[in-house]
Structure 1
Amino acid sequence: AVVQLHPDADPPPDAAVFAFWHLPGHKQLLHDGKGLALIARSPGHCLRFALAPGLEDGMAVVQAHRGGALAPARRHSLGTALFIVNPRPTPAALMELHTLQAFDATLAGASLRDVGEGLFGADAVADWYSDGGLRSKVRRLVRRGDALMRGGYRRLAQLPPLEKGRFEGSAKRP
């Protein structure tokens, strides 16, 4: 769930303020094509905010969110502000995400090192070498993505395997 933060035009004396440096965890600002987004990650939590134009550090802030989008999330208080914390994705979900991102990047022409940097950060690939563990992990993710594209998605979705076609190597020939 994404919480929208807007400047409060008429704040009460005890209004919550936007305090960028008081948000817990590692912060990342990015432009999503529509506006500025803020992601703050800490162990087991991920806070996502859409920042309204004109919002500055220290300003009184109001929060908005869409109806039922916050049902699985937990609410946490930090000072006078209320923040929504989403649970960390499961390891399986994270592996699926990394698999699809790695395969998509290689199809777009990215090198394995570029994929590793995109998934795990520049610090992680600083000691990149040909037989390194990170390079092997990225190669496995790309191979897994390729296997999913070639029918492995059916296993993941618990669908029956496709029947062998006439061009399959072990198919019977007339």
Structure 2
Amino acid sequence: MRPTFDLWRVPGRKHLALGDSGLTLLTEVSAQRLRMSLADDLCDGAVYICAVPLGPGLRGQLDVFNAQARALQGHAPADDSTRTVTRAALLHLRALQALDGAQAGASHRAIAQALFGFEAVVRWHADGELRAAVRHLLRRAEAYMAGDYLSLAGIPRVGAESPGDEPMR
């Protein structure tokens, strides 16, 4: 049996928009948004077919297409709110927060209290590991400011190639 279209079966808050390329259905379920282009002659109860663009990025888009197909069948998308934070992401966040504090004129001790909590700062020593961690975070953030932030996006720095790696002409 072929699926039939039922707008009210699609979960979440719905927005229909008519644009130059036809009718677009936007749905929101918690923090997730789905966008689907609909045929102009599609009506409630009509049999429909889903088409996806074939291209080099298809494999990476399959999860999105499956979520859209499940939404058309009335299933809410899976909740992604339980993403785990990686150690590297937490380090990047703390480095940028430490830099914000330093640029606002906060002391290393005040930065440590904001990042690690009051209880951790009770153990503060002038040459302790907490102060060393704050200094490390500040150096890391200053390196980001000097151009290393491009590495977070996977973009190589200009001039970072080894000599002899220039393209031949």
Calculate the TM-score normalised by the size of structure 1: 0.46
Which is richer in strand? Answer: 1
Larger Rg: 2
Which is richer in helix? Answer: 2
